[in-house]
């Protein structure tokens, strides 16, 4: 690394309907600062939940108007009653001003090489013109979606051309032996040559386990297992949380357990009220997801979740027994990830089409009774954040 004390990093994080991309980018930002303590990092984010996250030192957000993905290649304004073309122009202009004013020498673009509908073209062109030596890196999660769908979308968006024109390197937050992204999506040779697999990105440095008021004493914990049910951002998690409450009634007193439903910031208030009403009389607590929710996961005897990238990484990070229910769509990403990882013995999976109170109750009883945790021999590398940071910083 050439300028250890002069790293100015800009991150583009498009995540209008969830928490995953922003959480992953913050994990990487933290690792950049662990390796270069004086690095200054500016994150351009459109998630309405951006203020929800605790930022590391010398790191800040620029919030751009939110766009929400409603289907493959289809976007809609979340708050402002503006046509997409007007909103995209506003977003692009803000990002161009940030790029030229902040003058980063390291840029990480998350997930979308051209941004939404080409909104990054102007900012990247301006940055290349004013700072030709800046390192521009594309970061991709392990699985983007169905092979044919992603190739079709990338071709329609000009993503292959943009990646070749603007990007110095492609970082994949996964492992080629689990899913060879460059091969599966038929990257041209020039793109495949600059693709690096970093391993999975999880929170690598977490403080010591602190006692929580709801933690049971050791004997009670052995008698009454603690189950964490988590749905990430929460926007579409109520369907399996509702099934979980039904499953508890199927289990009855034959398999007693205590549970926490960790509810994300995007769960609709009406869904919250329905879940709270249904949970009455059960040993269940509803908890709004917060910065310390990782402590709940660390204490859990069993985790029930969807197959979002970050949640699955945390399950692997803490070697937790888990039941994973992939989101049914519109993208095939979670279904594909679930199939690959379940085949390696990393967790138990239930397809949402077969999710009934009875099937979930049977899986809960089987997982709680099963000896040990996951098959550690099949775990992938989970230090992807520090590897990604090191890879980017070598050329700055």
pLDDT tens figures, 101-156:
999 999 999 999 999 989 999 999 999 999 999 999 999 999 999 999 999 999 99
The predicted structure's pLDDT at residue 392: 98
**Among the ranges given (95-104, 170-179, 288-297, 375-384), the one the predictor scored with the smallest mean pLDDT:** 288-297
User: Which tokens in the block code for residue 114?
Assistant: 């051209």
pLDDT at 381 over 80: yes
24 pLDDT tier (thresholds 50, 70, 90): very high
Please report, for the chain, the start and end positions of each structural domain, with discontinuous segments joined by +: 8-200+382-393, 218-378
Q: Mean pLDDT score of the chain, rounded to an integer?
A: 89
Answer for the pair 325, 357: CB distance below 8 angstroms, yes or no.
Answer: no
The predicted structure's pLDDT at residue 293: 75
CA-atom Rg of the chain in angstroms = 21
Answer for the pair 21, 110: CB distance below 8 angstroms, yes or no.
Answer: yes
159 pLDDT tier (thresholds 50, 70, 90): very high
Specify the CATH class of 8-200+382-393 in words.
alpha beta
**Among the ranges given (58-72, 200-214, 232-246, 265-279), the one the predictor scored with the smallest mean pLDDT:** 200-214
Backbone angles phi, psi at 94, to 5 degrees: -60, -45
The predicted structure's pLDDT at residue 42: 98
The predicted structure's pLDDT at residue 83: 86
What does the pLDDT average to over 263-269? 83
CATH topology agreement for domains 8-200+382-393 and 218-378 = yes
Report pLDDT digits (tens) over 232-250. 776 778 889 999 999 999 9
210 pLDDT tier (thresholds 50, 70, 90): very low
The separation between CA 144 and the C-alpha centre of its own chain, rounded to angstroms, equals: 12
pTM tops 0.85, yes or no: yes
Q: How many residues in total does the chain contain?
A: 396
52 pLDDT tier (thresholds 50, 70, 90): confident
Question: How far apart are the C-alpha atoms of 57 and 39, rounded to whole Å?
Answer: 9
The CATH number of domain 218-378 is 3.30.559.10: no
pLDDT at 207 over 90: no
User: Which tokens in the block code for residue 75?
Assistant: 């976007």
254 pLDDT tier (thresholds 50, 70, 90): confident
Partners of 170 in beta bridges: 138, 195
Question: Where are the alpha helices (H) located in the chain, listed in sequence order?
Answer: 20-35, 84-102, 121-130, 147-157, 159-166, 181-184, 189-193, 218-223, 238-251, 269-278, 293-299, 309-317, 333-343, 357-369, 384-393
Report pLDDT digits (tens) over 56-81. 899 999 999 988 877 666 777 877 88
Question: Where are the alpha helices (H) located in 288-332, listed in sequence order?
Answer: 293-299, 309-317
Q: What is the dihedral of CA 12, 16, 20, 26, to 10 degrees?
A: 40
pLDDT at 162 over 60: yes
pLDDT at 346 over 90: yes
Question: How far apart are the C-alpha atoms of 286 and 195, rounded to whole Å?
Answer: 42
């Amino acid at each position: 690394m050439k300028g250890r004390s002069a790293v100015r990093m800009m991150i583009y994080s498009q995540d209008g309907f969830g928490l995953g991309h922003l959480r992953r980018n913050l994990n990487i930002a933290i690792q950049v600062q662990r390796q270069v303590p004086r690095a200054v990092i500016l994150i351009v984010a459109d998630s309405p939940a951006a203020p929800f996250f605790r930022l590391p030192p010398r790191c800040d957000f620029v919030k751009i108007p939110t766009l929400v993905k409603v289907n493959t290649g289809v976007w809609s304004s979340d708050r402002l009653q503006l046509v997409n073309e007007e909103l995209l122009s506003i977003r692009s202009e803000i990002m161009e001003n940030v790029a030229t004013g902040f003058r980063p020498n390291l840029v990480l673009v998350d997930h979308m090489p051209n941004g939404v509908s080409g909104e990054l073209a102007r900012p990247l062109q301006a940055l290349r013109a004013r700072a030709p030596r800046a390192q521009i890196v594309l970061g991709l999660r392990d699985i983007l979606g169905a092979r044919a769908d992603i190739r079709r979308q990338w071709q329609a968006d000009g993503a292959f051309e943009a990646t070749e024109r603007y990007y110095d390197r492609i970082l994949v937050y996964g492992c080629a032996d689990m899913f060879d992204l460059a091969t599966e999506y038929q990257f041209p040779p020039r793109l495949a040559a600059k693709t690096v697999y970093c391993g999975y990105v999880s929170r690598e440095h977490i403080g010591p386990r602190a006692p929580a008021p709801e933690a049971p004493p050791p004997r009670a914990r052995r008698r009454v297992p603690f189950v964490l049910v988590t749905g990430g951002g929460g926007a579409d998690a109520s369907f399996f949380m509702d099934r979980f409450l039904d499953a508890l009634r199927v289990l009855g007193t034959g398999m007693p357990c205590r549970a926490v439903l960790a509810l994300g910031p995007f769960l609709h208030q009406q869904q919250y009220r329905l879940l709270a009403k249904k949970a009455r009389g059960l040993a269940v607590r509803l908890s709004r997801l917060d910065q310390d929710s990782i402590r709940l996961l660390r204490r859990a005897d069993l985790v029930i979740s969807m197959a979002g990238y970050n949640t699955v990484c945390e399950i692997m990070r803490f070697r937790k027994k888990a039941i994973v229910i992939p989101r049914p769509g519109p993208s095939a990403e979670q279904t594909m990830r679930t199939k690959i990882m379940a085949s390696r013995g990393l967790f138990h999976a239930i397809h949402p089409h077969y999710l009934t109170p009875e099937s979930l109750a049977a899986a809960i009883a089987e997982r709680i009774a099963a000896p040990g945790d996951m098959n550690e021999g099949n775990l992938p590398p989970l230090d992807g954040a520090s590897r990604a940071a090191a890879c980017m910083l070598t050329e700055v």
